[in-house]
Chain A
Amino acid sequence: MDFLRRRNNAKHERTTAMLSAYVDGELEAEDRQRVEAHVAQCDACAEELRTLRYAKNVLARAPIPRIPRSFVIRRADLEAPAVTTAPRRLFGLSTRLAYGYLKGATALVTVVFALAVAGDLIAQLSFGRGELALAPGAQATVVDKVVEVEKAVQVEKEVVVQDTEEMEQSYQETPTLVVEGTPEMEMPAEKIVTPAPVERSALPTASPPVPGTEPSIQALAVPEPATTQEAVTGDLPPKEAVSVESVEESSKAGETFTPLPMPTATPPPSPVPSATPEPAVTTVVREREDTGGLTGFRIAEIGLGAAVLILLVATLVVRRQQSS
């Protein structure tokens, strides 16, 4: 009994689904016969069929406002609207498509810009100026860019000088160190000479969280031949030795300067793990690098901001074109 009812239900469902097509005469002969057979013995389906047919008839017969005018085409119609109906194009794209792309690009660049500014702010607020703790990868790429762009070096130099002065004031114990370590004339030279090592050492070691900044820093500070192996064995090149010495003098300053995870995180990825006054060395050297990174960062921010503005204007222009 139950089985019969269920079978009937299934039949019922199938028929209901086909009723509309049946009304439209769109069923194959086999389905048509099946529907007719079922409707003949199922009152609910018969009613369904009746009301569906009724709906079709009402819609088919329902009055509609008469056409307001004749739509016959005049020759004049063909000329004037031809201009307006032809879709405007922009660089081979329809304006709608171009608008879509522009909108997307604007949104993307704006987000990147916002992230960059936010990252910069966070870095400055939480780590102080000297230790710009960006995501290591980001820092590395920024530095790369700076090295590539010749002008950036010039700017860097200025900022480094500024920063050095600032440091002189804030860390009174280390003035000699800083001045010695970063003579103004030497900075740009270093940067220019060592672009390749920077790229090589900065990128692969960029993976560890904070210390990732260090390798690139040291690579920057160390003159070209100072490869990682040399540094590890402790054979510090003359330049490095100088900075180590000076740091030893002012290890206190170094300590106050590196309260962050830096010291502990430094050893593994650092190319100079055996150097005793390690933290200080890295700090001092990093100082220079970070200002470089910071400047690059600023440039990137300005560039991104400009890009946002340009894209925004372009988007608005295209949008206006599209709507007109």
Chain B
Amino acid sequence: MPQRMDDQALAAAAQQGNLDAFNQLVIRYQTLAYHVAYRILSDADAAADATQDAFLRAYKAIGQYYGGSFKAWILRIVTNTCYDQLRAKQRRPISSLEALLVTEPAPGPSFIDQAESPEAYAVRQELSRAIQAGINALPADQRVALTLCDVAGMNYQEIAEATRVSLGTVKSRISRARTKLRDYLLTQQELLPAQYRLRDDT
């Protein structure tokens, strides 16, 4: 059974007021939503708040979901919530150096790679910090576009709809963002774990 159908069926049930059906969708997309929020906000707590807020908003607005990709729909809400957070943060800036650290002590069930050695975990933590620093250097719009593209795997059309800009704008934002991130990563090669370095054979 294609997952798309499942999403739609669950969303339809949620529209009838079935919270459990909606929570199935939450479980399905919460990791992705959190990842997107984390990349955009680069703050673990803010990302958690934004994710929770986005799902609440989505549930309340489920009546406005008219089919199509549920993933694109929920990520649009996540993106908007993140923009709100960024604006709020601009109003009262919080220093969040700490947020750049991956503070979770041990990998949990939602980890992609479950059997992980402490060394591997340290490497991942280091890498996460390094990459997030490169993403932080991007302007918010570029960061959002690149995140939706590379982290969420949305296509340009979906990104254009989610961020309410033209396809051409999406194209140029992603192009600029990726070029900058690439330049940054090339300056960080020695600091990156071997498997994340640019190799000659790729």
Instruction: List residues of chain A with CB under 8 Å of any chain B CB.
Output: 17, 19-21, 23-24, 26, 50-56, 58-73, 75, 77-78, 81-82, 85
Contact = CB atoms under 8 A, between A and B. Distances in A.
Using C-beta atoms within 8 Å of the partner chain, give the interface range for chain B: 35 or more
B9 interface: no
Contact of B182 (A52, A68, A78): A52
Nearest to A50: B202
B171 A56 contact: no
For B57, B150, B153, the residue with the greatest tally of chain A CB atoms inside 10 Å of its CB is B150
Contacts of B104: 65-66, 68
B127 A62 contact: yes
Contact of A73 (B19, B33, B146, B181): B19
Contacts of A69: 48
Contacts, number: 121
Given A53-B202, A59-B151, A20 B179 contact: yes
A59 B38 contact: no
Contacts of B48: 67-69, 71
Nearest to A62: B131
Interface string B31-64: 1011100110000100010011101110110000
Interface string B136-157: 0000000000100111010110
**Dominant secondary structure at the B interface:** helix
Given A60-B150, A63-B127, A65-B104, A77 B56 contact: yes
Contact of A17 (B27, B124, B151, B175): B175
A71 B23 CA distance: 8
B128 A64 contact: yes
B112 A63 contact: yes
Interface string B158-178: 000000000000010011001
5 contacts: A20-B179, A21-B171, A26-B171, A58-B196, A65-B38
